[in-house]
Amino acid sequence: MPKNALLKIDEMEVTLPVMTGSEGEKAVDARKLRQDTGYIFYDQGYGNTGSCESTITYLDGDNGILRHRGYPIEQLAEHSEFVETAYLIIHGELPTPEQRKNFGQLLRQHAHIETQMQKLFEGFPKEAPAMVMLSSLVGSLAAFYPQLATNNFERDLQQFDLAAAIAISKIRTLGALVYRHKHGLPFLHPKDVPFCDNFLHLMFSEPYQDYAAIPEVTRALNLILLMHADHEQNCSTSTTRMVGSSGANLFSSLSAAIGALSGPLHGGANVAVMQMLQSIHDEHDDGTRFIQAAKDGTKSHRLMGFGHAVYRNFDPRAKLVGKACDIVLTKLGKSDPLLAIAKNLEQAALKDDYFISRKLYPNVDFYSGIIFRALGIPTEMFTVMFAIGRSPGWIANWKEVASNSKGRIYRPRQLYVGPVKRDYVPMAKRG
């Protein structure tokens, strides 16, 4: 195992330490590179750059491995549920029965949204995008819970467990209320029921007619949220760390993360997948024509839900969600023509050299929309579902930043390629 890397630039030679992760990943420690050489590394999009050491999630993109605190996603999908996995991701260990009970109670205790905070909804046009509203509302938690959001790590960490529970529970409730606001439905009070049952109640109950969640539906919702719980240093999680590294409180960091997740290349992909499948269906295409267009490489015809910045193999979550699609639709006695199209696209792409050569496989977003739709969740809410699921991962990463006594503010460098020094030109001499 190399201890050092030798960097030779012309006559200059520097030795850089090599770091090794607990799964054998190797890194060249570049923290002294600029000081020792005057050079920086250039790595657009940070695809080859580690911004932190983390103990939360391990991803092996080449072998399609995903583990949370060492537990394989396949085992968590089979044996765990969203709230238990959220506890694991945030606190580092599976909860004891007592810890699980207390955590669940804390989430129920903070499921409501105060009347004062509900007034914020009045300012949002109903047509406002759900994720824009959610980002603003989550950021406002820092206004309603200032004692948990002091922008002082030491003080905020003392209240972390409460702030974390409030964040997870309120993001769920705010997500449901955004839906009701957009549809002009009255807001409901949460019930003293488990996390996913409460979400479905807050979304779909009528003022005098409670939504009756069947076990298959809450089980499917638990699975799909668990599948989204954390994913290493993805765009929105890195955003959480970037914002938190300035000392910003948890709620402000989560608000920024929601903004990052809303993009179509990230969490917005599950909406883009459904729009893609629907347009293929509307054009009476079984996917064959679309695949051909996707291979042209034009961004407008990307095979949404395919490809990944890290996985160069199957996204293990896509396999699990894809399997759950069949089970959920069968249990609910539903069929979805878009599922057949999705399967056609997957089969065709997995045999096509364009996708094989670029190592493009289905990612978590490819099938998730089918399940959300089967659960009655409208497309406009899919990325909100992703945010509800990802909240534990963001929270755990914020805590790592806040707890790192040797931590530094995230401040990447750049390569300046703009105009060199020039003198000011008075207005009279311009044009």
* Residue 365 binding ligand SDX, by CB under 6 A: yes
Q: Give 213 or 396: the residue with its C-beta nearer to ligand SDX.
A: 396
Q: Is 62 exposed, middle or buried (0-12, 13-18, 19+ CB in 10 A)?
A: exposed
Q: Give 190 or 316: the residue with its C-beta nearer to ligand SDX.
A: 316
Q: Give 198 or 383: the residue with its C-beta nearer to ligand SDX.
A: 383
Kindly write out the interface string for residues 292-331 of this chain, putting x where it contacts ligand SDX by CB under 6 A and - elsewhere: --x--x----xxxxxxxxx---------------------
Q: Give 189 or 358: the residue with its C-beta nearer to ligand SDX.
A: 358
CB of 308 to ligand SDX, least distance (A): 5
* Residue 364 binding ligand SDX, by CB under 6 A: yes
Catalytic residue among 197, 315, 336, 365: 365
139 near 251, Cβ under 8 Å? yes
Catalytic residue among 308, 326, 336, 352: 308
Using CB under 6 A, pick the residue from 167, 269, 329, 401 that binds ligand SDX: 269
Q: Which stretch binds ligand SDX (CB under 6 A): 146-154, 227-235, 239-247, 400-408?
A: 227-235
- Residue 310: count other Cβ atoms within 10 Å of its Cβ: 17
Q: Is residue 29 among the annotated active site residues?
A: no
Tell me which residues in 334-363 interact with ligand SDX (CB under 6 A).
358, 360, 363
CB of 19 to ligand SDX, least distance (A): 22
Cα distances (angstroms) measured from residue 202 to each of 71, 135, 147, 248: 31, 19, 27, 30
Q: Is residue 62 among the annotated active site residues?
A: no
Q: Which stretch binds ligand SDX (CB under 6 A): 80-88, 95-103, 261-269, 331-339?
A: 261-269
Q: Give 166 or 401: the residue with its C-beta nearer to ligand SDX.
A: 401
Q: Give 172 or 308: the residue with its C-beta nearer to ligand SDX.
A: 308
CB of 180 to ligand SDX, least distance (A): 27
CB of 13 to ligand SDX, least distance (A): 33
Q: What is the 3-state secondary structure (H, E, C) of the chain?
A: CCCEEEEEECCEEEEEEEEECCCCCEEECCCCHHHHHCCCCCCHHHCCCCCCCCCCEEEECCCCEEEECCEEHHHHHHHCCHHHHHHHHHHCCCCCHHHHHHHHHHHHHCCCCCHHHHHHHHHCCCCCCHHHHHHHHHHHHHHHCHHHCCCCHHHHHHCHHHHHHHHHHHHHHHHHHHHHHHCCCCCCCCCCCCHHHHHHHHHHCECCECCCCCHHHHHHHHHHHHHCCCCCCCHHHHHHHHHHCCCCCHHHHHHHHHHHHCCCCCCCHHHHHHHHHHHHHHCCCCCHHHHHHHCCCCHHHCCCCECCCCCCCCCHHHHHHHHHHHHHHHHCCCCCHHHHHHHHHHHHHHCCHHHHHCCCCECCHHHHHHHHHHCCCCHHHHHHHHHHHHHHHHHHHHHHHHHCCCCCCCCCCCCCCCCCCCCCCCHHHCC
CB of 139 to ligand SDX, least distance (A): 20
Q: Give 190 or 369: the residue with its C-beta nearer to ligand SDX.
A: 369
The owner of tokens 């089980």 is 219
CB of 38 to ligand SDX, least distance (A): 29
| # residues contacting ligand SDX (CB under 6 A) | 22
CB of 262 to ligand SDX, least distance (A): 11
Q: Give 40 or 265: the residue with its C-beta nearer to ligand SDX.
A: 265
* Residue 265 binding ligand SDX, by CB under 6 A: yes
* Residue 166 binding ligand SDX, by CB under 6 A: no
CB of 57 to ligand SDX, least distance (A): 10
Q: Please give the positions annotated as active site.
A: 308, 365
List residues binding ligand SDX (CB under 6 A): 231, 234-235, 265-266, 269, 294, 297, 302-310, 358, 360, 363-365
